[in-house]
Amino acid sequence: MEREVAIVGVGWEGFQPTTPHYSYKELIYQAAQKAYHNANVDPRKDIQSFVTVAEDFIEGTSIFDEYTPDQLGAVLKPMHTITGDGLHGLITAYLMIRSGICKIAAVEAHSKASNIKTLSQITHYALDPMLNRPFEFHPDFIAGLEMARFLHEAHITPEDCALVVQKNRRNALENPSAPYGFDYRLEEIQDCQPVAYPLLESHIAQPADGAIVVVLASREIAESLTVEPIWILGVGWCNDMYNLEYRDWGHLPYVTKAAQMAYHQAQIQTPSKKIDFAEVDDLYAYRELMSLVALGLISKHELPDALKMGKFHSTGQLPINLSGGSLGMGNLLEANGLAKLVEAVLQLRGQAGKRQLSFPHIGLVQSWRGIPTSSAAVVILASS
């Protein structure tokens, strides 16, 4: 397995329903200075390239890349912004280092969801204007359609999805950065208003603010900076078509393709045996289960029993979303992938506090850009 690029620093700020004390720039700055301290680098002298991720509609500012350099220490340095999840940004920086363009790069993603007063309208605007928007459904209807088909095909129930909610929000209780930790009883999760049946309100990750910065370095630099580089073994990304009409509603082929790309690079033939833990998309509770199947970490028919046996719990055979996931940390919009990546880095470093696993070696991180997208990214990490 190759060890050419490593994560050498992580920093984050926020992960709160609101952050009125900071502007988005100040939120990013707080995360950046922590990441640079963690990596023991000076952004002005040491970091050679910067990648940020943002979506203009979410920011409320066109050409948002203009607004990111100063709070990252990136003024008059090579930098660019891409419209994607934080993991897409991380993969971009990884490729830049692998191709020799730079040796140290920083990646940034953030959410100021609390500043968006019409978030569902912004999401609605991602739908096809001719064929889908005229119905004026709340955009969560897409999750309802997907969940209904997946449950039908996998023979699992909304109660099984409630188990995911219960697990992730309990996990969040052990994560000081997660604002949505709670020890729910199953009946409390199920006794919630439907949003788009079978999707209940309790199945949906609630928005949160936060910023995350990650520093990556080439092997020679990484080993000089830290005794605990976290190696990137494999990366993968994939998009399906946007079209709602032609989707394979019961499966996530784009997650499977992204994972296969990452497994191939990491030389992993049997992921369910190699991966020690995973942080996967759980913007909706059912998506965690769909993603696990798509990632090849479990088969559909094993799923109901695995859920009942607690296979994905912190003490289970394959711990999933120890961070609390998006259900526990909040929906950080384009920063969701990096929030999960931070957890994987902490676990592999042995710095995850009360939720620390015993000597994990390989962790998988997977993200999705949310409805209505079919956009996924996968990163596989290993400890030193």
Say how many residues touch other proteins, by CB under 8 A: 34
Q: At residue 124, what is the residue type?
A: H
Closer to other proteins by Cβ: residue 61 or 299: 61
- Per the omega criterion (within 30 degrees of 0), is the bond before 304 cis? no
Looking at the DSSP bridge assignments, the partners of residue 367 are: 377
Structure-block tokens of residue 353: 């506090």
Residues 6+ apart with CB under 8 A from 117: none
Q: Does 2 bind other proteins (CB under 8 A)?
A: no
Specify whether the CB–CB gap between 239 and 258 falls below 8 A.
no
Alpha-carbon Rg for the chain, nearest whole angstrom, is: 19
Question: Would you count residue 29 as binding other proteins (CB under 8 A)?
Answer: yes
Are residues 325 and 202 in contact, defined by beta-carbon separation less than 8 angstroms?
no
Q: How far apart are CA 74 and CA 51, in angstroms?
A: 10
Specify the stretch interacting with other proteins by CB under 8 A; choose among 25-33, 242-250, 283-291, 342-350.
25-33
The three-state (H, E, C) secondary structure of 173-213, written as one string: HCCCCCCCCCCCCHHHHHCCCEEECCEEHHHECCECEEEEE
State the minimum distance, in angstroms, from the CB of residue 65 to other proteins. 15
Integer Cα distance of 342 and 108 in angstroms = 12
Amino acid at 299: S
Asked if residue 55 binds other proteins (CB under 8 A), the reply is no
Out of 5, 6, 9, 19, the residue judged to bind other proteins by CB under 8 A: 19
Closer CB to other proteins, residue 68 or residue 314? 68
Judged by CB, which is closer to other proteins: 134, or 350? 134
43 binds other proteins (CB under 8 A): yes
x/- contact string, 202-241, with other proteins (CB under 8 A)? ----------------------------------------
**363: number of CA atoms within 13 Å, CB side?**
31
By the rule CB under 8 A, 69 interacts with other proteins:
yes
Q: Which of 1, 37, 40, 42 binds other proteins (CB under 8 A)?
A: 42
Applying CB under 8 A, which of residues 33, 48, 190, 356 lies at the interface with other proteins? Answer: 33
Residue 367 C-beta: closest distance to other proteins, Å = 24
Q: Quick one: which segment of 64-72, 141-149, 218-226, 343-351 binds other proteins (CB under 8 A)?
A: 64-72
Q: 106 burial class (0-12, 13-18, 19+ CB within 10 angstroms)?
A: buried
Q: Which of 20, 135, 315, 354 touches other proteins (CB under 8 A)? A: 20
Q: Which position among 3, 4, 16, 25 is part of the footprint of other proteins (CB under 8 A)?
A: 25
CB of 373 to other proteins, least distance (A): 18
Residue positions counted in the chain: 384
What is the rounded CA–CA span in Å between residue 11 and residue 59? 21
Shortest distance, CB of residue 87 to other proteins, whole angstroms? 26
Task: Please state the φ and ψ torsions of residue 226, each to the nearest 5 degrees.
Answer: -150, 155
70 scored as a contact of other proteins (CB under 8 A): yes
Binding of other proteins by 257 (CB under 8 A): no
Footprint (CB under 8 A) of other proteins, residues 96-155: 112, 114-118, 121-122, 125, 129-130, 133-134
* CB nearer to other proteins: pick between 12 and 284: 12
29 vs 286, beta carbon nearer other proteins: 29
Q: By CB under 8 A, name the one of 44, 155, 264, 361 that touches other proteins.
A: 44
75 belongs to the binding site for other proteins (CB under 8 A): yes
**b/e burial code for range 54-92 (CB count within 10 A of at least 16 → b):** bbebbbeeeebeebbbebbbbeeeebebbbbbbbbbbbb
Is residue 60 a contact residue for other proteins (CB under 8 A)?
Answer: yes
Taking the least distance from each CB to other proteins, the nearer of 130 and 227 is: 130
Burial of 93 (0-12, 13-18, 19+ CB in 10 A): buried
Question: Is the CA virtual torsion 73, 79, 84, 89 positive or negative?
Answer: negative
Beta bridge pairs of residue 237: 377
CA angle 139, 189, 317 (to 5 degrees): 100
List of residues contacting other proteins (CB under 8 A): 19-26, 29, 33, 36, 42-44, 57, 60, 69-71, 73, 75, 112, 114-118, 121-122, 125, 129-130, 133-134
